[in-house]
Structure 1
Amino acid sequence: MRIRPQSVGFTIFLGALSALPPLSIDMGLPAFPTISAALGASSGSVGLTLSLFMLGFAVAQLVFGPLSDRYGRRPILLIGCGLFTLAGAACTVAPSIGTLIAWRLVQGAGAGAGMVMTLAIVRDLFEGGAARAQLSYVNLVMSVAPMIAPTIGSNVLAIAGWRGIYGTLAVGGLLLLLCVAIGLSESLAHRDLGAIQPPRLIKNYGRILTNRICLGYALVNALNFGCMFAYVSGSPLVMLNVLGVSTTTYGWLFASTALGIMAGSFLNGRLSIYGVLPSRLLIVGIVTATASALALVVISLSGAAQVITLMPLLVINTFCRGIISPNAIHGAIQPVPESAGVAAAIVGFMQMLCGAVASGLVAFLYDGHTAIAMSGVMALFAIASLITYIGLVRSAKYT
């Protein structure tokens, strides 16, 4: 009953693990007003259920990565899925907003195990173009989550209330837990018995953070994620408040950019299988993403921001994310197979950090009547990603 690594089912399984964070975030958003009324909590307190989830998700990766190098990927996935399931069940019956916030922190930690183990497992089992293709297809499956999560959340909210949303997440976590227990073989061939000893742990983290190739690729991925997350956090402000589109229309517009990521991931997977060099794919993706972000700035500053002028550039930008992410992540974890868990943890933590900074900047700079904050932050992170790739990654390869 083991899932074969070369099968479509294996890719779907890894994609489902990676989809836990967006599902956990986006499914609950429609229920925020209901939770506030039901638990007698302020909007800010309900918002902490999202902030604490993301904190748990980010920090847990730094813990689970080294643990997986010591004990293997499968035990850590069992723990992570177990935590996610338990926390989902506890959120379902939470009697107060404080309890809900606490268990969301635990739920985020469980989701963090799924993300970091996905990257480590791909590094364990695949090489070269096959690894980049696998990451592309996982990214493709994962991109479906933000498209369907708000709709699922709204429907569950209408049928079973806000508690039903967390119950649904608990059931999803339980199904993944069973898949790991029954169908997943251990992918780590040689365990590092000293991986969690403080001197070795510090050395492993230091070795990756001082490796210009690993650090450079991790930063390229994280900064590009910041560019995309500036869009994710800024798009409702721009589309709903500035341009006045309906919530239904916004849902379709958001779905079109998610389709852009899926298309980029699929194309990258096919080109990787055909032997196209990752350096070529990366430079084309990064330059195109930067150009589209700068074009968004020009349109925003000129006062020509409309749905018809913004959306083509936003789709192009997210399409580039589907190309950049698999190649950059592979470049970051490929050179250190003996510490793939630590490398994957660094990749995931940096990505979440840049996403949090980007969304914070958009919220801080938003003026209430233009798209300048969203487009400006997108351009800032896109340019930083391009500079990092040229100045850190490519320069390191030629020195």
Structure 2
Amino acid sequence: MQFKPKSVGFTIILGVLAAMLPLSIDMGLPAFPAIGTSLNASPATVGLTLSLFMVGYAISQLAFGPLSDRYGRKPILIIGCGLFTFASAACAIAPSINALVAWRFFQGAGAGAGMTLMLAMVRDLFEGATARAQLSYISLVINTAPIIAPTIGVGILAISSWRGIYGLLAVGGLILILTIALGLDESIKSRDLNAIKPHRLIGNYLRVLNNRVFIGYALVDALSFGCLFAYVAASSLVMINVLGISTTTYGLIFASTGIGIVAGSFISGLLNNRGVPSPRLLGFGLAISATSAITLVLVSMTGAAQLLTLLPLLIINTFCYGLIAPNAIHHALESVEDIAGSAAASIGFLEMLAGSLASFLVSVFFDGHTVNVMSEVMALFAIASLAIYSKMQFHK
């Protein structure tokens, strides 16, 4: 069965490809204590399974993008999913924590193909408001994953061990390979035969990085992702350790903020299809995101931080990310016409860089008894994103 580019099935497949990141992370989070017990590893060492996954995910995108410009999206996508599937199976049978950490790196590397080539395929096949709407609906699928993934992980742990989680990811990867092989056509119009030659590879990335429009919109997206990831990284520390809520309630809160992103993505797609100008959506989303993050700081500093004061602001902030990301990403890709793979890889890499920085700042400065650091890091990234966009508009 072939999935046509404008079909719902096509959108879902691209969304699932990009969702390999949140699925691989969030399904495994509930299993961290069990992994530590099973493999006789400290919490810090188990945490390396997440860190190395993120490193592999970030670096591999820089390779998959140019490779897809040279050989086409479909074969490189199959290779990436194949690496993800094999590494997931290896994780499921890992005999030691060191082996698990190593295979998580390769699992992350394989997952990197999903996001990069999804963006490149959208750039190949869609233009203008249609492309922005497509990215919005794909984002809707992506951001459904963090809502359901922890529940899936907990469900598997109830009937199996932590190894079952990685086994399920391997099965999912295999299904993806078959779906891509049988259901997707090649999207690239013309291959760049020199894309992976050193001089062209370096030249293409320099072209991307020297394109002010691309860098501006890519940074708007990356910094907004950093704002979101500051919340993701700090949420369990703040909600469970500081506010003292139960893990069940935390799961519901995390799901509600995930629904905020989904709602923002849906509204973005709907309004793009109805002809609402993208700059209006971007400007609104960035302004409200910064405002909600600054309000979080004020709530935190005045000692009024509790679940009822924080949750509405967090939902508003995540809703704004659903508005911002599809529009910023599309404008970045639109500014670079013939090297979509390298451009998409750069977007993904910058997102991971911003997310890692936000996570680092939260972990280093978290004081253990207030929500200040989460709010402050979110505000830092949100304000920076708005400032860059405002500067771009001023210099038009």
Q: Same fold by TM-score, threshold 0.5 exceeded?
A: yes
| 3-state SS in 2 of match to 1:192 | coil
2:8 is the counterpart of 1:3: no
**Alignment partners' CA distance in 1, 2:228 and 2:3:** 33
| 3-state SS in 1 of match to 2:100 | helix
Match of 1:141 in 2: 141
Which amino acid letter does the alignment assign opposite residue 365 of structure 1? Answer: F
**Alignment partners' CA distance in 2, 1:366 and 1:101:** 25
Q: Per-residue deviation at 1:337? A: 2.2
Query: Could you report, residue by residue, the CA deviation over 1:169-195 in whole angstroms, capped at 9, with x for unpaired residues?
Result: 000100100011111100001001111
CA RMSD of aligned residues (A): 0.8
2:32 is the counterpart of 1:14: no
Stretch moving more, 123-132 or 237-246 = 237-246
Match of 1:257 in 2: 257
Match of 2:199 in 1: 199
Q: Per-residue deviation at 1:367? A: 1.1
**Alignment partners' CA distance in 2, 1:43 and 1:254:** 22
Match of 2:69 in 1: 69
| 3-state SS in 2 of match to 1:338 | coil
Match of 1:350 in 2: 350
Match of 1:364 in 2: 364
Which amino acid letter does the alignment assign opposite residue 65 of structure 1? Answer: G
Query: Could you report, residue by residue, the CA deviation over 1:183-228 in whole angstroms, capped at 9, with x for unpaired residues?
Result: 1100001001111111111111111111110000000000000001
Q: Per-residue deviation at 1:3? A: 0.8
**Alignment partners' CA distance in 1, 2:105 and 2:226:** 22
What TM-score results when the alignment is normalised by the length of structure 1? 0.98
Match of 1:384 in 2: 384
Query: Could you report, residue by residue, the CA deviation over 1:212-271 in whole angstroms, capped at 9, with x for unpaired residues?
Result: 100000000000000011111111111111111111111111111111101100000011
1:36-185 pair list within 5 angstroms? 36-185=36-185
**Alignment partners' CA distance in 2, 1:37 and 1:245:** 25
Match of 1:273 in 2: 273
Match of 1:241 in 2: 241
**Alignment partners' CA distance in 2, 1:395 and 1:339:** 28
**Alignment partners' CA distance in 2, 1:10 and 1:304:** 46
1:277-288 pair list within 5 angstroms? 277-288=277-288
Q: Per-residue deviation at 1:32? A: 1.1
**Alignment partners' CA distance in 1, 2:95 and 2:25:** 20
2:336 is the counterpart of 1:332: no
Which amino acid letter does the alignment assign opposite residue 300 of structure 2? Answer: S
Match of 1:32 in 2: 32
Structure 2 unaligned spans of 5+: none
Q: Per-residue deviation at 1:395? A: 4.0
Stretch moving more, 378-387 or 91-100 = 91-100
Match of 1:292 in 2: 292
**Alignment partners' CA distance in 2, 1:322 and 1:315:** 11
What TM-score results when the alignment is normalised by the length of structure 2? 0.99
**Alignment partners' CA distance in 1, 2:75 and 2:337:** 19
- State the identity %: 63
Which amino acid letter does the alignment assign opposite residue 38 of structure 1? Answer: S
Match of 1:394 in 2: 393
**Alignment partners' CA distance in 2, 1:272 and 1:292:** 24
Query: Could you report, residue by residue, the CA deviation over 1:303-351 in whole angstroms, capped at 9, with x for unpaired residues?
Result: 0001111111110000000000000000111121210000000000000
**Alignment partners' CA distance in 2, 1:38 and 1:248:** 24
Which amino acid letter does the alignment assign opposite residue 24 of structure 2? Answer: S
Change (3 A) 1:224 1:3: same
| 3-state SS in 1 of match to 2:275 | coil
Which amino acid letter does the alignment assign opposite residue 6 of structure 1? Answer: K
Which amino acid letter does the alignment assign opposite residue 80 of structure 2? Answer: G
**Alignment partners' CA distance in 2, 1:41 and 1:302:** 40
Which amino acid letter does the alignment assign opposite residue 36 of structure 1? Answer: G
| 3-state SS in 1 of match to 2:94 | coil
**Alignment partners' CA distance in 2, 1:94 and 1:310:** 40
- The structure 1 segments of at least 4 consecutive aligned residues displaced by more than 4 Å after TM superposition are none
**Alignment partners' CA distance in 2, 1:395 and 1:123:** 27
Which amino acid letter does the alignment assign opposite residue 394 of structure 1? Answer: Q
Match of 1:220 in 2: 220
Match of 1:341 in 2: 341
Q: Per-residue deviation at 1:275? A: 1.0
**Alignment partners' CA distance in 2, 1:283 and 1:221:** 12
| 3-state SS in 2 of match to 1:116 | helix
